[in-house]
Structure formats: C-alpha cells, structure tokens
Chain A
Amino acid sequence: MTTALRCARENPFRTERVLAFRYRLTADQWESLLERFARLGYRASLVGPEGTGKTTLREDVEARLGERGWRICGVHLCRQQPRLSLSQRRRIADAGPSTLVTVDGGEQLGWLAWRWVCRTTRRAGGLLATLHRDRGLAVLHRHRPDIEVLRAMVSRLAGRDAAVALDKDVREMYAEYGGNTRDVLRALYDRWAAGRIASVDGGMHASKAAVTDEGAQ
C-alpha cells in the first residue's frame, strides 16, 4: 500500500526517533560536567549555533539534576515568542534556592531582559541558558557543528545501507544548512515522505539511543 510507505508513523526521521538521541557521556563524564557546573555556582550557558544539540544537553542536565532533588523552572523562547511573558517572569522571580532556572533560547532576549534574568535568578539555585553567542555567563559547554554526529544519527535512523546511499546528499545538505543538524534531519524527513529515499533497512526502535561517543560532544 503506497500511502502506508509514506506514512508519518513509518518515517525513520520522525520527531520521536530523533528526540531519542541523547548525549552519550560516561558516568565519569557526566559527573565531571555536573561538578564543573557546581564550581560555576550553577550559573552557566550552553553556547553554539542552531541545531547543534544545546537543547538536548540542557534536557539531559535537567534530568540528572532533577534526580538529585533539584526543581526545574524552564522557560522556552524562540523567534515566534522572543519575549518573556508575565507568567514566565513570575515563575523566574519565584524560583528559590532549590530551583534551577533554565532558559532555552536566551539569545532572543534583549539586553535589558537578559540582565533582568541574570539578576533575578541570583535568588534561585542556578541558571542554565542556551545561547547562540556568549552573553557574559560562564560557558558550561560550547557546541560546534559536527557532521560525524549527523552521519551517525542518519545511520541509526535510516539504517546503514540507506545512510551510505545518502551520504553525499547528507554532506551537501549539511553545508547548505550551515551545520544545522536539526534542519538536515527535517529535510531528510521530507525526502523520505516524498519517496525520494529508496529503502530503509530497519534502523532503530524509538527507544533510547545515542550518537557515538566520538560524536556526542
């Protein structure tokens, strides 16, 4: 049945499968990262271009700190919503010493709003922001485009044979999208949906999976 082959449920690049990729750090590497965050007073940023894994790492840090008893106050900003709403400001202002405030998309904030966040969160337990560029907050991790991470993800998502067949296209798209892994994966979604990717040899289930160690950082 042609339609079933194109169905979103079968698309190897669908969101649930892409989101299943997490940072594969060893226990020691995680401990080292969290210790560094502690030494920075739990006030730091994840800096890098779009589509390089900042949100993924932020979520993984939140999960680990949550397991240690931290409360998380998360704020998400984007081009469509670049300003803090009143409720978001209240939540940030109410965050206490056991709460980590996380700001995803901190580059959207103007200078005054960013200053307000930095100043107000001094009452909270900490601040972790994702940014496209440095904004005066210590850098916990600097993200860089890494085509090997993308290639590993394509191989896991689409299967090795399909990944080999796609490799030239993946490299071209990677250059076209300026290293934005997320946008390349979305483009691959469209290609598969349009029947322009010939075969997928199974790939992975939509459960926990990770990029290779070499590509994870």
Chain B
Amino acid sequence: MSQIQVQLDGEAVRPGQEVTGTVSWSLQGRRGDRVVIRLFWYTQGKGTEDLGVVEQKTIPTPAASSSERFSFRAPSFPWSYAGTLMAITWAVEAAVEPKGSVDRKQFVLGPNGREIEGK
C-alpha cells in the first residue's frame, strides 16, 4: 500500500504568512497515481460541516519514493476558532490519488499565531 506523510515546519502561522513543510511518499507503482497537497480549513461541531480548500498543488507523475517541499500563503480568514457550537481548524493534507493513502497535519492560523477561543 502507498504511504504518504506530511510534516509542517511550524504549528502556527499569522494571516498572510507562509505555511511550509515537506511531503514524503512511497508509492505502489500504480499507473496514474498522483500526489495532491491541499491547504484547507474545516468546521467541526453541532451543525452541518463545512470545508474550504484554499489552495492545491498536484504532482502528476511522482517518483516511486521521494519527498518534496511545499509552501502555501495563508489567507487572512477564517481564523482558527474553538467554540462550543463550532470549531474551525486549518490543515495541510497530502493524498495519493486516486484511492491512496492520506495524511493530514493541523496548524493554527490567527493573529499572533493563536487560536480564537469562544465562550
């Protein structure tokens, strides 16, 4: 089975800063496999879940085993938020597509690099 791993350089960024890290993978060698890296946010909580992919990079013909650096620019909003009805979480996800392994690492996006806490 293919394997993929995401490592982030940091745990928190401010709006507008770079989100950087490394993706490492080891593929089964299936034809058509590609590596996709996404910067996105998603909600968790009581209501309907929501998700927003801010940016995506694709490596269409990845080597069987390799690693690659990535860099995304974090947008201004939404900020990471921890409330009782809803939480907003930011993450970078790397996936072997189609139907391959997935790895995701969370980080905090907010002013001063800190999550907003609701009451």
A and B from one complex: yes
Give bound CA distance, A36 to B48, whole Å. 32
Once A8-B44, A8-B83 are accepted as A-B contacts, the answer to whether A16 and B119 lie under 8 Å apart by CB is no
Chain B, interface residues (CB within 8 Å), range: 10 to 19
Instruction: Collect the chain A residues with CB atoms within 8 Å of residue B44's CB.
Output: 8-9, 14-16
Q: Which residue of B lies closest to A206 (CB)?
A: B44
Instruction: Collect the chain A residues with CB atoms within 8 Å of residue B45's CB.
Output: 8, 11, 14-15
Instruction: Collect the chain B residues with CB atoms within 8 Å of residue A15's CB.
Output: 44-49
Interface residue B9 (Cβ < 8 Å from any Cβ of A) = no
Interface residue A177 (Cβ < 8 Å from any Cβ of B) = no
Docked-complex contact A7 and B87, CB < 8 angstroms: yes
Q: Which residue of B lies closest to A189 (CB)?
A: B46
Q: Which residue of B lies closest to A11 (CB)?
A: B45
Interface residue B84 (Cβ < 8 Å from any Cβ of A) = yes
Contact with B along A7-26 (1 / 0, CB 8 A): 11101011110000000000
Chain A, interface residues (CB within 8 Å), range: 10 to 19
Interface residue A87 (Cβ < 8 Å from any Cβ of B) = no
Instruction: Collect the chain A residues with CB atoms within 8 Å of residue B83's CB.
Output: 7-8
Give bound CA distance, A3 to B87, whole Å. 12
Interface residue B85 (Cβ < 8 Å from any Cβ of A) = yes
Query: Which of B49, B84, B118 is the most central at the interface, judged by chain A CB atoms within 10 Å of its CB?
Result: B84
Interface residue B36 (Cβ < 8 Å from any Cβ of A) = no
Chain B residues within CB distance 8 Å of chain A: 44-49, 82-87, 89, 117-119
Q: What are 20 A-B contacts defined by CB distance under 8 Å?
A: A3-B82, A3-B118, A6-B84, A7-B82, A7-B83, A7-B84, A8-B44, A8-B45, A8-B46, A8-B82, A8-B83, A8-B87, A11-B46, A11-B84, A14-B44, A15-B46, A15-B48, A16-B49, A186-B46, A193-B46
